[in-house]
Chains A and B, each alone.
Chain A
Amino acid sequence: MKKFRSQMSIGIICVLLGFMISYQFKMISKQSAAADTNKNSPEIITENEQLKKSKDEMQKKIDELDAKTKDYEKAALGRDEQSGLIYKELEETRILTGGTEVEGEGMIIYITPKSNVFGSSPEDQLINDTDLVHIVNELNAADAEAISINDIRLTSRSGIRNAGNAIIINDERVSYNKRITIKAIGKKDILLSAISFPGAIPQLLSQTCDISMEKSNKVKILKYNKAYKFEFAKPIEKK
């Protein structure tokens, strides 16, 4: 009787052990399957390629149309003095809204993430959205006239924030563990001294990244490619 009972208990324990092992196996394989579906599938990659291609084509179309409007404006410019003044104002507004490519003296900041030898994963976020916001704010305070990050023009309505595994600026993605180039047009000495001032570049960023900067007499900043839409803001008519 005693032997039977001990045999029974061993059997029950083995049932338990087998159940736990197979259940755990099932769980782990389920987890890894779930992780796989989240990874980039080839379909997404090809779709991405196609979208990139169509983006390039559309960009070409935009450039053509821009050239056309430039022609019309030039034609209007010759007519009289008034149209000349309007044209000048239009150009200034364009610079302000980022509607045209601009060039001039300024500075370039390179933020290069340090490759860390000691094991931390490549998915570590080395550059934060707030770091970029801080630097851009510093540049604006130093009277920068135009700023771009990785050739994405910053306008008065640009937001810089983390989303997913990238930093999103004007709906474009900037990888946070690759080199980021910030260009600014303005008086180069003032810009440089503002950025070199202690605290202008966040301390954490200077620990995780190599930051170099240079003055330049010819910085070129590309234009902002989207149309502004004002749905809510309406000008107030003064009586």
Chain B
Amino acid sequence: MVAFVGLLIGVILGIVWNVDIPVKFSPYISVAIFACLDSVFGALRGSISHNFRADIFISGFFGNAALAVAMVYLGDKLGIPIYLAAVIVFGGRIFDNFAIIRRLLIDKTKSH
């Protein structure tokens, strides 16, 4: 519940608030969003399987985002698209997590 309210507030904030982030940071934000989505899916899975820990979630959220942004920066400097690695890993993990969430939810509904 808190999560949804927070998400809503964030979306409204993003639309209304005209903060100026330079355009060149746009790819960094994209990858950071992907990393954060991965953490959120991980958290969702954790909360469904009852082993969710807030500290792990928070550290993962910021750590993943920071690492992904660092990779994009490094790739930019070296001329290799390293961010692809981040996108593939996070994308794969999002699908993995989603698969597990699906299984858990279906098992839950069956057991009732």
In the bound complex, residues from chain A placing their C-beta under 8 Å from that of B106 are: none
Determine, out of B32-40, B73-81, B86-94, B97-105, the stretch whose residues face the partner at the interface: B32-40
- Assuming the contacts A20-B32, A20-B36, A24-B26, asked whether A14 and B3 have C-beta atoms less than 8 A apart, the reply is yes
- Chain B interface helix/strand/loop/mixed: helix
**Contact between chains at A17 and B33 (CB < 8 Å):** yes
A31 on interface, CB distance cutoff 8 Å: yes
Residue of B nearest to A13 (CB): B61
- Categorize the interface residue count of chain A: 20 to 34
B7 on interface, CB distance cutoff 8 Å: yes
A202 on interface, CB distance cutoff 8 Å: no
Residue of B nearest to A25 (CB): B14
Measured in the bound complex, the distance between the Cα atoms of B57 and A11 in whole Å is 12
**Contact between chains at A31 and B29 (CB < 8 Å):** no
Residue of A nearest to B6 (CB): A14
8 Å CB interface, B2-25 against A: 2-15, 17, 19, 21, 23
B54 on interface, CB distance cutoff 8 Å: yes
**Contact between chains at B29 and A14 (CB < 8 Å):** no
- Categorize the interface residue count of chain B: 20 to 34
**Contact between chains at A31 and B3 (CB < 8 Å):** no
A27 on interface, CB distance cutoff 8 Å: yes
In the bound complex, residues from chain A placing their C-beta under 8 Å from that of B68 are: none
**Contact between chains at A14 and B26 (CB < 8 Å):** no
Residue of A nearest to B37 (CB): A17
A22 on interface, CB distance cutoff 8 Å: yes
Q: A18, A22, A31: which contacts B6 (Cβ < 8 A)?
A: A18
In the bound complex, residues from chain B placing their C-beta under 8 Å from that of A17 are: 7, 10, 33, 36-37, 40
Measured in the bound complex, the distance between the Cα atoms of B2 and A11 in whole Å is 5
A65 on interface, CB distance cutoff 8 Å: no
In the bound complex, residues from chain B placing their C-beta under 8 Å from that of A16 are: 10, 36
B43 on interface, CB distance cutoff 8 Å: yes
**Contact between chains at B2 and A26 (CB < 8 Å):** no
In the bound complex, residues from chain A placing their C-beta under 8 Å from that of B6 are: 10-15, 18
- Assuming the contacts A13-B61, A27-B23, asked whether A22 and B3 have C-beta atoms less than 8 A apart, the reply is no
B30 on interface, CB distance cutoff 8 Å: yes
- Assuming the contacts A9-B58, A26-B14, asked whether A18 and B9 have C-beta atoms less than 8 A apart, the reply is yes
- Assuming the contacts A18-B13, A19-B11, A20-B14, asked whether A11 and B23 have C-beta atoms less than 8 A apart, the reply is no
Q: B14, B30, B43, B54: which contacts A19 (Cβ < 8 A)?
A: B14
A21 on interface, CB distance cutoff 8 Å: yes
25 contacts between A and B (CB under 8 A): A5-B54, A6-B55, A9-B58, A10-B6, A10-B43, A11-B2, A11-B6, A14-B4, A14-B9, A16-B10, A17-B36, A18-B6, A18-B9, A18-B11, A18-B12, A19-B11, A20-B29, A20-B32, A21-B10, A21-B11, A22-B10, A22-B12, A22-B14, A24-B26, A31-B23
What would 17 more interface pairs be, CB under 8 Å, given A11-B3, A17-B10? Answer: A8-B2, A9-B54, A14-B4, A14-B7, A14-B40, A16-B36, A18-B7, A18-B8, A18-B13, A18-B14, A19-B11, A20-B14, A20-B33, A23-B14, A23-B19, A24-B30, A24-B33
